[in-house]
C-alpha cells in the first residue's frame, strides 16, 4: 500500500473516532465539568501506559523542571480546549460545533501572524474572509431563526475551542522545534490539564459518577482521545501536513451523519451555506 494511501486511512480513521465525542458526551449524561475532568484524567493515565509501551523506561518520563514554563501553559491550553469543545457539544448542535471548531486552521494563521510573525498572503486573507462569512451563516441560524440562547452559547464555546486548539497546535510546533518527545509531551500536557480542571470540578462538578456514565467516559478517554490521537499522529508520518489537514475535514462529514442518525438533527439552509463556506475557507488555507 502506498504511504499516501496509508496516511490518509489513518487520518480518516482518527477523524471517525473524533466524530463520536459529541455523541458519547451526551450519552454520559453528567455535569460537563466532571465529564471533562474525568476524561482528561483517564486520558493521562492511558497516555502513561502508551509512553511505557513505546519508550519502555519509566525514568524517561521524569519531569524536566526547566520545561515547566512550557508545559504549564501547554496544559492550560489543553484544559481550555477540552472544556470548551465538550461544552459546545452539550450546548448546541453537533454540526454547529464540528464546523465552527473546524475553523482552527484559520485561527492558526491569525495566531502565527501575531506571535510567530509569519506573513499573511492574499490567498490567506481571502480564506479568512470566507471563514468569517461561514461563521456568520452558522451562528445566524441560531440568532435569526430560533433566537436560541443556549445554542448561541454553544456556538461561542465552539469558536473559543477552535482558537484554543489553534494555540495547542502552535505549542505543538514549538515542542517539535525543542525536540521534546511527543508521548512525553502529551502525558505531561494532559496531566497538568487535569490539575487545572480538578479545582473546577470541585467547585462546579461532582465526584459521584453513575456506573453507566463511567463506561462512556472510559470510551471517550481511550477510544476518542488516546487511540484517535495515535492514529492521527501515525497518519502524518506518511502524508504531508497540508494534505493531512484537508483529509481531516472528513470529521465534519462524520459528525453530520452521526447527528442525523443518533439525534435526528437536520441541517437548515443557513447551516448548509455556512458549512460550505467554512470548508472552502479551510481548503483554501491548507492548499
Please report the pLDDT score of residue 22 as a whole number: 93
pLDDT tens string 247-281: 777 788 888 888 888 988 877 777 777 778 777 77
Question: Could you give the CA distance from residue 110 to residue 222 in angstroms, rounded to a whole number?
Answer: 32
Q: Rounded to 5 degrees, what are φ and ψ at 62?
A: -60, 135
Domain segments of the chain: what residues? 3-55+65-286
Query: Within 13 A of 120's CA, how many CA atoms are on the CB side?
Result: 18
What is the grid cell recorded at 45? 493515565
Written as one string, the DSSP assignment of the chain is: --HHHHHHHHHHHHHHHHTTHHHHHHHH-S-HHHHHHHHHHHHHHHHHHHHHHHH--GGGGS--GGGHHHHHHHHHHHHHHHHHHHHHHHHS-HHHHHHHHTTHHHHHHHHHHHHS-----HHHHHHHHHHHHHHHHHHHIIIIII--HHHHHHHHHHHHHHHHHHHHHHHHHHHHHTT--HHHHHHHHHHHHHHHHHHHHHHHS-S---HHHHHHHHHHHIIIIIIHHHHHHHHTTTS-HHHHHHHTTHHHHHHHHHHHHHH-PPPPHHHHHHHHHHHHHHHHHH-
pTM score: 0.85
- Kindly give the confidence (pLDDT) of every residue in the chain, 287 residues in length, as a single tens digit, with 9 standing for 90 and above: 677 788 888 988 998 999 999 999 999 999 999 999 999 999 999 999 999 988 888 778 888 777 888 999 999 999 999 999 999 999 888 888 888 887 787 787 788 777 767 776 777 677 777 777 777 676 655 555 554 556 778 888 998 999 999 898 888 878 878 888 888 999 999 999 999 999 999 999 888 889 899 999 999 999 999 999 889 888 878 877 666 667 777 788 888 888 888 988 877 777 777 778 777 776 776 56
Please report the pLDDT score of residue 140 as a whole number: 59
Query: Within 13 A of 251's CA, how many CA atoms are on the CB side?
Result: 27
Q: 50-62 burial by CB neighbour count: b if 16+ within 10 A, else e? A: bbeeeeeeeeebe
Please report the pLDDT score of residue 65 as a whole number: 78
Amino acid at each position: 500500500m502506498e504511504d499516501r494511501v496509508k496516511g490518509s486511512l489513518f487520518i480518516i480513521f482518527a477523524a471517525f473516532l473524533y466524530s463520536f465525542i459529541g455523541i458519547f458526551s451526551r450519552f454520559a449524561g453528567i455535569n460537563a465539568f466532571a465529564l471533562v475532568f474525568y476524561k482528561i484524567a483517564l486520558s493521562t493515565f492511558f497516555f502513561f501506559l502508551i509512553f511505557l509501551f513505546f519508550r519502555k523506561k519509566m525514568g524517561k518520563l521524569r519531569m524536566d523542571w526547566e520545561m515547566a514554563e512550557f508545559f504549564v501553559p501547554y496544559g492550560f491550553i489543553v484544559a481550555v480546549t477540552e472544556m470548551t469543545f465538550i461544552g459546545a457539544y452539550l450546548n448546541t448542535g453537533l454540526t454547529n460545533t464540528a464546523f465552527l471548531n473546524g475553523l482552527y486552521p484559520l485561527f492558526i494563521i491569525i495566531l502565527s501572524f501575531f506571535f510567530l510573525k509569519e506573513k499573511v498572503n492574499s490567498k490567506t486573507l481571502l480564506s479568512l474572509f470566507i471563514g468569517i462569512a461561514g461563521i456568520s451563516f452558522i451562528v445566524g441560524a441560531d440568532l435569526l431563526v430560533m433566537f436560541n440562547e443556549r445554542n448561541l452559547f454553544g456556538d461561542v464555546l465552539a469558536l473559543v475551542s477552535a482558537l484554543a486548539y489553534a494555540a495547542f497546535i502552535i505549542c505543538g510546533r514549538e515542542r517539535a522545534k525543542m525536540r521534546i518527545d511527543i508521548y512525553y509531551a502529551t502525558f505531561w500536557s494532559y496531566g497538568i490539564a487535569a490539575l487545572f480542571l480538578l479545582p473546577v470540578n470541585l467547585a462546579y462538578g461532582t465526584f459521584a459518577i453513575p456506573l453507566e456514565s463511567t463506561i462512556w467516559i472510559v470510551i471517550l478517554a481511550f477510544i476518542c482521545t488516546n487511540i484517535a490521537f495515535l492514529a492521527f499522529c501515525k497518519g502524518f508520518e506518511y502524508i504531508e501536513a497540508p494534505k493531512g489537514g484537508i483529509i481531516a475535514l472528513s470529521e465534519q462529514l462524520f459528525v453530520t451523519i452521526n447527528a442525523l442518525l443518533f439525534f435526528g438533527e437536520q441541517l437548515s439552509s443557513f447551516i448548509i451555506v455556512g458549512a460550505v463556506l467554512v470548508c472552502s475557507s479551510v481548503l483554501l488555507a491548507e492548499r
